[in-house]
Structure 1
Amino acid sequence: MLNQKIEEAINAQINAEMWSAYLYLSMAAYCHSQGNPGMGKWFEVQFQEEQDHAKILFNYVISRGGNVTLSPIEAVPTTWNSILDVFESTLAHEQKVTSLINNLFALTTAENDYATQSMLKWFIDEQVEEEETAQTIIDNLKMIKDNGYGLYMLDKELGARVYTQASPLAGK
């Protein structure tokens, strides 16, 4: 059974993951409006992944005899200055999420909750990948600068991304 502090912290993380999903859907809409449908699709996959993250935490709270408490999702930004700005915002957001996950892990350490630590290790690894991916796209955009053909090719590459359900949800 989860102790109250950890249950509340995981519920807060569920809300943060749903906010992330909403943010990425907003970023998808922005990219589509800027004529970058591949990047829009890339963010739509991000949207689905963030929903998966919330569902993993949701399932975990239930499995440990806790109560999921869903809170309202605050508004997200809807405009950015450029495609580069969108991806720089993505990296900054993923760094914030990494901090939230790290703080949650620190709480489980202080509370000697080894089961929750084990579950959170998947999220820690996921955050390394999320930050690396965002940084790579930023690096590519900076290299491309205003080259229309380069932007077109990157848009096509990012549009090839396919949603894959998070492994902790397999069979659930």
Structure 2
Amino acid sequence: MPIDESRVFTPIQIALLTISDTRTLADDRSGDTLAERVTAAGHVLKAREISKDSVETILGHLHRWIDDPQIDVILTTGGTGVTGRDVTPEALEKVQDKAIPGFGELFRWLSFQSIGTSTIQSRACACVARGTYIFALPGSTGAVKDGWDQILVHQLDSRFRPCNFVELMPRLLEK
């Protein structure tokens, strides 16, 4: 992937939300994996929390972070499957101004390389909400690695060419 070394790297402020009825910060392997990758890439992990699989609870976290000018991006892990308790995409639908359908499409295409047709069970998705990017990844460590290593590490790097999400941030709220 083309990184333009002549450009300055711009670290962004990221909040990480693990969505699970059973995980705690002590045993959140996917959250740990994502947190390590965020900081290793040079970004700032501003907040990290666990949320129950409840649309209203998830919305509480999302609204608070969307309204925080110190947070540019929210990453979620978990709750993107098809069971009754998997409600992360429904929560994102309630806050989004614009969907980013290509993220989920690309995630599933990449995931197919690892897990074959089982990727069809993923509802990974992304959106922009009041000027904040939100990316929802599945809860497995493999999915978190795929999503970060193959998509987000590049799109959240201001030096990535031909374009990236960071360079669009100043214009997200334009009318």
TM-score by length of 2: 0.29
RCO higher in 1 or 2 (8 Å CA, sep ≥ 6)? Answer: 1
Which is higher, the Rg of structure 1 or of structure 2?
A: 1
Write 1 or 2 for the structure with the bigger share of helix: 1
TM-score by length of 1: 0.29
Write 1 or 2 for the structure with the bigger share of strand: 2
